[in-house]
Amino acid sequence: MTITDRSRMLRSHRIVGAGVAAVLSVALVAGCAGRHSSTSGTAPKSASPAKVRVMLDWTPNTNHAGMYLAKSAGYYRAAGLEVTFIQPGQNSDPNQAVGSGTVDFGISASEQLIPARAHGVPVVSVAAIIQHNTSSLITLASSAIDRPRDLAGHTYGSYGGGDFEKALVDQLVSCDGGDPSKVRFTQVGDSDYREGLTKRQFDAVWVFDGWDVIRLRDIDHLAIDRMPFSEYQHCIPDWYTPILVTSEKLIAKNPALVKAFMAATARGYRQAMAHPDQAAASLIAQAPGLDSNLVRRSMHYLSTRYAADPAAWGEQDPKVWNRFVDFLEAHHIVAAGFDTKAAYTNRFLTTGG
């Protein structure tokens, strides 16, 4: 995966508000006939496996490694499923595809699912792929920016996340004692983060530790400093990104298929946590264009972060969801009264191996 690809994936994970009209149109068109029809406690029995389509959020990466391992290790096949992974196009949205019935499952993020549901798209989070947010703001180590308040008077490289991104950065700066009105925003687009930082196109940018930081700091040996979001949760909420989503319709019509898929997927992530090198090899074999060194390093990083307890992989804490929705409502990113409980479920997660 190139840095350009990664920046696109980063942007696709976090955009809130942009494309609401598209979300609405898909919601109106939604309602394609389901392809599965079983309500038993196991996957539907038939002469051939049930076909399941999963839309990724961008190109394959270590966020998806548990699913790729579940496929290569035969966990899906043993569950009576034939799983296909689909990469979205430039303007595709997994929430829309899932909500319309075009695919069965998708990789999304809380900040995408919430506005989608607020505008009528019937998607539900069925698992948190990573237990806590692994985002950071990064700067060059040579800069004078050591903490969020130091961003005042400097330029932040925006991925184009609209009101959500602005509210989050402003909250970080103000909570840390700085003046957010003095932070300059410039569009990053698909730029190379290394080039943007070293050529002073921007002074700080939002990245994911499990991919971008490893590439820039550990592989490219760029001297950077991090401001991990996890260290500022007295200022901003934790939230789930990425998440695994499905549709209300599939849950209602074929809960057995959802349960079978989730059980095999959870097994894949638990195996990836226990054996990150095996998971890296599986992902590289199925997506040979990836940087194998980056994938291996990233897998070892995420193997301890998918979940603190492998048996509890995927579980979603109501407090995390509630605090994040409170943040969005307080900043008028979603209207007050959002039905948080309906946005996620843990019912299809199994404990243990």
- DSSP, res 42: S
pLDDT tier for residue 143 given thresholds of 50, 70 and 90: very high
- Residue 139 is predicted with a pLDDT of 98
Is it the case that residue 3 has pLDDT exceeding 90?
A: no
Specify the DSSP element, H or E, that contains 83.
strand 81-86
Number of structural domains (the chain) is 2
Which range has the worst mean pLDDT, 5-19, 109-123, 138-152, 154-168?
5-19
DSSP string of 215-260, one letter each residue = IIIIIS---EEEEEGGGGTTTS-----SEEEEEHHHHHH-HHHHHH
- Residue 89 is predicted with a pLDDT of 83
Question: Which of 232, 262, 294 corresponds to the end of one domain?
Answer: 232
For residue range 60-108, list pLDDT tens digits in order: 999 999 999 999 999 999 999 999 999 998 778 999 999 999 999 999 9
For residue range 279-331, list pLDDT tens digits in order: 999 999 999 999 999 999 999 999 999 999 999 999 999 999 999 999 999 99
| Length in residues, the chain | 353
CATH number, residue 218: 3.40.190.10
Is it the case that residue 183 has pLDDT exceeding 90?
A: yes
Least Cα distance to 143 among 192, 198, 216, 214 occurs for 198
Question: Which of 192, 212, 232 corresponds to the end of one domain?
Answer: 232
Q: Does 139 lie in the same domain as 122?
A: no
Is it the case that residue 42 has pLDDT exceeding 70?
A: no
Question: Which of 187, 205, 232 corresponds to the end of one domain?
Answer: 232
Average pLDDT, integer, range 175-204? 93
208 beta partners? 135
Q: Does 161 lie in the same domain as 120?
A: no
Per-chain mean pLDDT for the chain = 89
Q: Does 332 lie in the same domain as 189?
A: no
- Residue 205 is predicted with a pLDDT of 97
Is it the case that residue 113 has pLDDT exceeding 60?
A: yes
- Residue 23 is predicted with a pLDDT of 40
| 50-55 and 105-108 strand pairing | parallel
Structural domain boundaries, residue 7? 3-129+243-343
Average pLDDT, integer, range 117-143? 98
The span from the CA of 167 to the CA of 171, in Å, is: 6
Q: Does 220 lie in the same domain as 247?
A: no
Q: Does 115 lie in the same domain as 22?
A: yes
Is it the case that residue 41 has pLDDT exceeding 70?
A: no
Q: Does 86 lie in the same domain as 22?
A: yes
